[in-house]
Amino acid sequence: MLDSIVVYPGCRGTLSGGTEAIVCEQCGEVYKTDGKYPVLLAWEEDDRFEDVSNCCLNEYEARTNAFTTQNCYLPLLRRLMRPDLRGLRVLSAGCGVGVDVDVFRQAGLKAFGVDCGSRVEAWSGRLHPDAFHMGSVTHLPYPGGSFDVVITGCLLPHIGVVGDSVTLRSDWEAQRVRAAAELLHVTRPGGHIMMPIPIAFGPADLFHKGQMTGPAQTRSLAPVQRAILASVVQGSVGWC
């Protein structure tokens, strides 16, 4: 289940091994596996993400992500890059249940997914289960310039928080800067990073309602915040 694209996140050395452990050929670091997948977490701060995995949320995520990939990401990439996307290498960072990887691969792209949460259990039900890797976006297990496109979904709000909540840690900003640097590192020069984030144009955020402490937190952001986030999104990737 270990594709040749994967490297040790620390020294970027080549990995080899079997079903019980993975070894870095350069520095000798050893990783155990969690079921079918090696746990490629290189630093102590790269904890497993404490998300909630249940069949209802996973099915909802699979349906919405399949729709978004088919009707938003693929058309946008055809406009940004070229009509025929076959052969492009794509990373879904924080891929969750990973259905977007299946959709990308059906369209001819060489797509991979990385995540370190509980929803990795859903990967065995994907059409391409060997396209997924268990790792952290703050220390990605890929060489520099590996991907033409990196897509994060709603990733950054889940970095630098306590568990699967909206409570920020003291180093939340440094963690998000580190994640952004890693995403840039694995994107080839001239490639694209697509980072959808909640920008409060919808009346409510129902998917993340389990993180909220009360009904008021599911409502939209203040107008000033909305304007700032909208300008950032429009300036970086445009609308699809």
- pLDDT for 117 equals 79
Domain-by-domain residue ranges, the chain?
41-191, 198-240
Per-position DSSP letters for the chain, written without gaps between them: ---TT-B-TTT--BEEE-SSEEEETTT--EEEEETTEEEE--STT-PPP-----HHHHHHHHHHHHHHIIIIIHHHHHHHT-S--TT-EEEEET-TT-HHHHHHHHTT-EEEEEE-SGGGGGGGGSS-GGGEEEEBTTB-SS-TT-EEEEE-SS-GGGSSBSSSSSPBPTTHHHHHHHHHHHHHHHEEEEEEEE-----S-SSB--TTGGG-SSGGGGBPPPHHHHHHHHHHHHHHT---
- pLDDT for 48 equals 61
Q: Which fold has domain 41-191?
A: Rossmann fold (3.40.50)
Decide: pTM greater than 0.85: no
pLDDT in tens, the chain (240 residues): 566 788 888 888 888 876 677 888 888 888 777 767 777 877 666 666 666 667 777 888 889 999 999 999 999 999 999 999 999 999 999 898 999 999 999 999 999 999 987 778 888 889 998 899 988 888 899 999 999 999 987 777 778 777 666 678 788 888 888 888 999 999 999 999 998 766 555 555 555 555 545 544 444 444 444 443 444 333 333 333
